[in-house]
Structure 1
Amino acid sequence: MSAPTDPLAVLESLAVPDAPAVREAAPGPESEWPGVADPDVLRAQLLDWLSQYANPGTRRTYAYALGLPVEWVDPPREPDPTRPRPPAAAPGPLHDLAWLRWCARHRLDPRTATTGHVKGWLHALDAAGARRRTRQRMLSTVAALYGHLVEVGAVAANPAALNRARLGLSTGARDASPTIRLTAEHLRALLDAAAGLDHGRGAHAEFYRHRAVALVALLTLGLRISEVVGLDRADLYRTGGEDVLRVLGKGGLHREVYLTDPVRRTLAAYLAERDRLAGDAVPATRGRAPGPGSPMIATRAGGRCSRADLYSLLRRIATAAGPALDGVADRVHPHALRHAYVTIALEQGAPIQHVQADVGHASIATTQHYDRARRTRASTAADLVAGVLTPPSPETAEPPTPS
């Protein structure tokens, strides 16, 4: 059954333990989405809001946070019979507490929700063990949705416009980040493990090896995993005599990320191997990749890898790193490498505004506005981070001090 004609299917696996008769209700609009008399209209309003975000990663994140399937904004890829996908992960403890699922369980049309409903939902999240940061993020998503619904006249007021300080959810009240702290030694170990990852003896083993190294290398530039997934080959080009990546970040804003020499060599080797397997006699020129939207990090068949694919690959790499990542391998994820970029850069003395511009933090929008036009190779922290990750060559190493 299709989502447009059966909106309840959109909230797949909807748990309604306190209303077992919902699925057996008589046919009709309300039985398709509990509490909603015009489900097709609600679905169109939700899609209208999501479509305003240029970044597909943002659309997927918002859809997931509200309890909608990502297929709404990210159609599933054609299955590859030669590469079966791993089973889907089990729903987390907050799965049924996403806002739209919570509303459906209470037979509540989201457009009639009040501040009392939103507070009740937040209390349910708290009781389920949701961290403060998680509740802050989920409330922000709901508030953004209702801000749009107010603008288009679908609701009269924003029920999620609450006093966050009274709820203990003010933006200044932040818990310590749960992200694992990765050091330069950890990142070097990940790069080494990626280069040595066992892919068997098949014809594509070298491609997989180069792709694994390229993934880690890109993450050491401080990119978000959604940004890595969204990169096209045409996003790699030269400007001002330097190799850069044109990265689409949050808010649909592009920024230029300078490549270090190690990352440039890694990408060149990966793309050359990829072109060799594709049968191209000459590797495609940077910025002139064949076909529109050719992804930078691709499947063996040339399709775009998903975030889940790359996350799984990174975990395999972390596990293969052995003793070098003892105690942290099971907590390695893409954001941990982004976090490491920022901390290592600051430890090496990089100006904070340069680091913030490198990683595209929205909280320095004003600084970026003034700094973006005059950014040069000297105003990126990438080389400082690369200098720590790359061991000195015998020619540049300092001679030992005589005893």
Structure 2
Amino acid sequence: MTAELQTSLQDFLQYLEQQRRVSPHTVLNYQRDCQQLVDYCHQQSFNDWQQLKPADIRLFIARLHRKGLGARSIQRLLSAVRSFYHYLLKEGLVDHNPAQSVQAPKAEKRLPKTLDVDQMNSLLDNTPADTFVACRDRAIMELFYSSGLRLAELAALDLRDVDFGQQLVHIIAGKGNKGRVLPIGRTAIDALKVWFDKRDQNGLYQQQALFTSQQGKRLGVRSIQQRLAFWGKKHGISEHVHPHRLRHAFASHMLESSSDLRAVQELLGHSDISTTQVYTHLDFQHLAKVYDAAHPRAKKRS
């Protein structure tokens, strides 16, 4: 009964992969979210996407919410369903998008956790560059903090993407398949040069990937996550250290120093400035703490 629904979904996923060229991770998210709608249609005896009305989508969302699915997950799921119906409209398989007007529950705005300047200095300055692995990991962390890269962006870098003369790194295909060029700070440049020398000493000058294992294989995202967590624990940092936290640190520290929201937006590769504005809240939190500690009329009486 749901064979036609399933076929349409598979065609949509193939369209995302082959024509939209979205990442495999994104395709997997779309598949997981839209499959839940297929299962719901099966339960409700729908056998045609045209049959669904906004009331059906609202009931579908309400059931997921009652089962404990969070507001953010529901927002993402609704976005996937809307995109799926846009595809069905384009293909002439439906004449309306029942998810278009459906609102997800409002999610509580959570601020991204970050590391302060002292924690970042502790993490970077205390990581040695004596062994192959430590030298590579130091360069990885310096580059994350210097340029605010996403994890997938850093993992995909090749040697040719780093321009030492101009002190730039070229992101060929960032999120949404958008490229950008980012500056690299002096300390990160120095760390990368040391890493390049270490690579050559280990006979890896033929490998194109920027960061590799000792066997010469490109370092994967999971391995990078594990290495950052290792150094965070080793240096006694109480907060879990992961790549996105270093990206948060880059953004919040840049904003604290410059107050240039548009520049930080460009550096992070955010298509919408509202995504970047969350860091203004982090900056305000920092200012509020300074105010509470320093202002004579703000201090609590002992």
TM-score in terms of structure 1 length = 0.59
Paired with 1:303 and 1:275, the residues of 2 have a C-alpha distance of 14
Residue 231 (structure 1) aligned to one of 145, 152, 157: 157
Kindly state the Cα deviation for residue 184 of structure 1 after the two structures are TM-superposed.
Answer: 1.1
Name the amino acid aligned to 2:128: A
Kindly state the Cα deviation for residue 41 of structure 1 after the two structures are TM-superposed.
Answer: 5.9
Task: Provide, for residues 262-300 of structure 1, a one-character-per-residue CA deviation record: whole Å limited to 9, x for no partner.
Answer: 1111112122212221254xxxxxxxxx57xx2222233
Report if aligned partners of 1:100, 1:110 keep a CA contact under 8 Å in 2: no
Report if aligned partners of 2:5, 2:48 keep a CA contact under 8 Å in 1: no
Distance 1:189 1:149, change over 3 A: farther
Kindly state the Cα deviation for residue 359 of structure 1 after the two structures are TM-superposed.
Answer: 0.8
Paired with 1:154 and 1:300, the residues of 2 have a C-alpha distance of 52
2:217 maps to 1:303: yes
Paired with 2:215 and 2:48, the residues of 1 have a C-alpha distance of 42
Kindly state the Cα deviation for residue 113 of structure 1 after the two structures are TM-superposed.
Answer: 6.6
Task: Provide, for residues 156-205 of structure 1, a one-character-per-residue CA deviation record: whole Å limited to 9, x for no partner.
Answer: 332321242xx444xxxx63325213211122222245438xxxxxxxx8
Name the amino acid aligned to 1:229: A
Task: Provide, for residues 299-350 of structure 1, a one-character-per-residue CA deviation record: whole Å limited to 9, x for no partner.
Answer: 333333332222222222222221xx22x23xx3322221221111111124
2:98 maps to 1:133: no
Q: Using CA pairs under 8 Å that are at least 6 residues apart, name the structure with larger relative contact order, 1 or 2.
A: 2
Paired with 1:271 and 1:117, the residues of 2 have a C-alpha distance of 57
| Structure 1 residues 231-310: aligned runs within 5 Å | 231-237=157-163, 242-247=166-171, 248-278=173-203, 280=205, 290=206, 294-310=208-224
Paired with 2:156 and 2:99, the residues of 1 have a C-alpha distance of 31
Residue 28 (structure 2) aligned to one of 54, 57, 63: 63
Paired with 1:307 and 1:109, the residues of 2 have a C-alpha distance of 40
Paired with 1:317 and 1:355, the residues of 2 have a C-alpha distance of 27
Residue 34 (structure 2) aligned to one of 94, 99, 118: 99
Paired with 1:43 and 1:153, the residues of 2 have a C-alpha distance of 16
Distance 1:39 1:139, change over 3 A: closer
Paired with 2:59 and 2:214, the residues of 1 have a C-alpha distance of 48
2:3 maps to 1:47: no
**Matched position secondary structure for 2:210:** coil
Higher helix share: 2
Give the alignment's Cα RMSD to 1 decimal: 2.9
Distance 1:122 1:354, change over 3 A: same
| Structure 1 residues 69-108: aligned runs within 5 Å | 98-104=33-39, 107=42
Kindly state the Cα deviation for residue 258 of structure 1 after the two structures are TM-superposed.
Answer: 0.4
Report if aligned partners of 1:55, 1:249 keep a CA contact under 8 Å in 2: no
Kindly state the Cα deviation for residue 137 of structure 1 after the two structures are TM-superposed.
Answer: 2.4
Distance 1:143 1:186, change over 3 A: farther
2:148 maps to 1:222: yes
Distance 1:42 1:126, change over 3 A: closer
2:278 maps to 1:343: no
Residue 156 (structure 1) aligned to one of 72, 95, 99: 95
Kindly state the Cα deviation for residue 261 of structure 1 after the two structures are TM-superposed.
Answer: 0.6
Paired with 1:216 and 1:339, the residues of 2 have a C-alpha distance of 13
Paired with 2:82 and 2:227, the residues of 1 have a C-alpha distance of 34
Paired with 2:112 and 2:132, the residues of 1 have a C-alpha distance of 31
Q: Which residue of 2 aligns with 1:146?
A: 85
Distance 1:162 1:178, change over 3 A: same
In the alignment, structure 2 segments of 5+ residues that lack a partner are 275-302
Q: Which residue of 2 aligns with 1:312?
A: 226
Report if aligned partners of 1:237, 1:244 keep a CA contact under 8 Å in 2: yes
2:3 maps to 1:36: yes
Paired with 2:105 and 2:79, the residues of 1 have a C-alpha distance of 14
Q: Using the aligned pairs only, state the percent identity.
A: 23
Distance 1:116 1:226, change over 3 A: farther
Distance 1:308 1:112, change over 3 A: farther
Paired with 1:296 and 1:113, the residues of 2 have a C-alpha distance of 51
Report if aligned partners of 1:180, 1:336 keep a CA contact under 8 Å in 2: yes
For these two proteins, the number of residue pairs brought into alignment is 268
Report if aligned partners of 2:57, 2:102 keep a CA contact under 8 Å in 1: no
